[in-house]
Every structure is written in C-alpha cells, then in structure tokens.
C-alpha cells in the first residue's frame, strides 16, 4: 500500500488530516456576528466550564465550607477561593444565558429553521434554574435548609412531593454534582451541533 492511500481525502491541512474534528470549528464568522452580542453564548459556555472545573475540584478536595469535612485542611483557603469562583460563575452563567436569550430573541434568530435550537435553549434555562436550586440547597447552611423546606412545601402543593424530596440531602447533592451537569452537557452538545449545521442567523 502506498503512503498516498493512507491520507485523508478531504484534509486541507496537516492538523485537520490528523484531527478531522477540527472541521467542527468554523474557519470564519459572518461580519454581522462579529461583535460582543454574538459572543454572549460563548461567555455562557465559559462560565459553565468554570462551574464544572471548580465543582470537580470541590467534590474531589473539599469546598472549604465549614459544613463540609475535608481531608485536606492545608488546602482550606484555596478551597474557599474555588468555592467563591463556583458561586460567581453561577451568577454570571445565569446572567449571560439570559442576555444571550435576549440577543437571540431581538435578532429574530429563533425563527425557522432554528426552533429546535431555541427549545433546547429553553430546556437548558429550566435545567439551569433547577441546578441552581439544588446547588443552593447543597450548601446545607441555615438559609439553604429554609429554602429546602419552602421548596418542599411548593412541591407538595403542586402534588409533586413524591417526585423529588428536596429534604433528602444525598439525593439533592447527587443530582446537583452528577445528574444535572450531565444533562446540561448533553443538551449543550445538541445546541452546538445545530448551531454549526445552521450557521449563525442573519439578524432581522
């Protein structure tokens, strides 16, 4: 077999030949999308990455929160810093997501054929709110416990009390650190593939 036959047929560069996944990264963006308003989705993603990185650190090495027992007391002040990063990334995640939604709405980018991208976005927003509540309850301090009791009342009033017991701490923590983030990652993957396939919408 000659070396020629081992080459990828459509490769445009040595990097792309070795990593065809690079094709997923756009080579250029339209002029109208070259501004901060079109970067809001990217900022949201950046905040999610910070959330994931700081969250994984806290699960592995402790959060520095007095309610959590950590096997690494020497890391306490750094863990406290990581916890603050997690908190602030969560605030900015919600803020950027909402501003991104407004950008998409006011440029009319939700219209055909991008309805599914929009609906995946709505699902992500609902998931983000639920994950935020679960994270807040995971702090397990007085205010968090009060919110858990209020949320329990709400669920009971909606006849959904047996669906999710927000007073079950291990359940809430497990949902917050494992289940919710994985669902979010799955939704984001579909969101990004659709954006890549449709391209960025031309504004009104």
Cα dihedral: 162, 148, 124, 106 (round 10): 130
ω into residue 93 within 30 of 0, thus cis? no
Applying CB under 6 A, among 45, 52, 94, 133 the residue interacting with ligand HEM is 45
Q: Of the candidates 51, 101, 137, 177, which one interacts with ligand HEM according to CB under 6 A?
A: 101
Residue 85, classified by CB atoms within 10 Å of its CB into exposed (0-12), middle (13-18) or buried (19+), is middle
Least separation, in Å, of the C-beta of 59 and ligand HEM?
21
The correct pick among 62, 114, 136, 144 for binding ligand HEM (CB under 6 A) is 114
Q: What share of the chain is helix, strand, coil (3-state, %, to 5)?
A: 70, 0, 30
* Cα–Cα distance, 175 to 143 (Å, whole number): 20
Q: Which is nearer to ligand HEM, 55 or 64 (CB)?
A: 55
Stretch in the footprint of ligand HEM (CB under 6 A) among 1-9, 15-23, 102-110, 165-173 = 102-110
Give the whole-angstrom CA distance, residue 24 versus residue 164.
38
Q: In the complex, what is the shortest distance from the CB of residue 120 to ligand HEM, in angstroms, rounded to a whole number?
A: 7
Residue 192: CA atoms inside 13 Å, Cβ hemisphere, count? 13
Question: Between residues 144 and 175, which has the closer beta carbon with respect to ligand HEM?
Answer: 175
| Region near ligand HEM per CB under 6 A, out of 24-32, 52-60, 110-118, 139-147 | 110-118
In the complex, the residues that contact ligand HEM under the rule CB under 6 A are 38, 40-42, 44-45, 48, 97, 100-101, 103-104, 109-110, 114, 117-118, 121-122, 124-125, 188, 191, 195, 200-201
């Amino acid at each position: 077999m000659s070396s020629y036959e081992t080459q990828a047929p459509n490769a445009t560069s040595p990097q792309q030949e070795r990593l065809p996944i690079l094709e997923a990264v756009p080579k250029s963006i339209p002029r109208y999308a070259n501004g901060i308003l079109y970067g809001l989705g990217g900022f949201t993603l950046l905040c999610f990455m910070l959330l994931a990185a700081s969250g994984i650190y806290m699960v592995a090495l402790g959060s520095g929160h007095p309610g959590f027992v950590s096997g690494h007391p020497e890391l306490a002040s750094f863990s406290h810093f990581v916890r603050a990063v997690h908190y602030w990334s969560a605030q900015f995640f919600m803020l950027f997501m909402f501003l991104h939604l407004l950008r998409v709405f006011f440029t009319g980018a939700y219209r055909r054929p991008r309805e599914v991208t929009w609906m995946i976005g709505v699902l992500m927003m609902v998931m983000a709110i639920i994950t935020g509540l679960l994270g807040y309850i995971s702090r397990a301090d007085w205010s968090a416990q009060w919110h858990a009791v209020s949320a329990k009342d709400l669920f009971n009033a909606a006849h959904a009390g047996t669906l999710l017991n927000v007073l079950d701490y291990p359940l809430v923590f497990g949902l917050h650190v494992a289940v919710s983030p994985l669902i979010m990652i799955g939704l984001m993957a579909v969101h990004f593939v659709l954006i890549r396939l449709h391209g960025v919408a031309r504004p009104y």
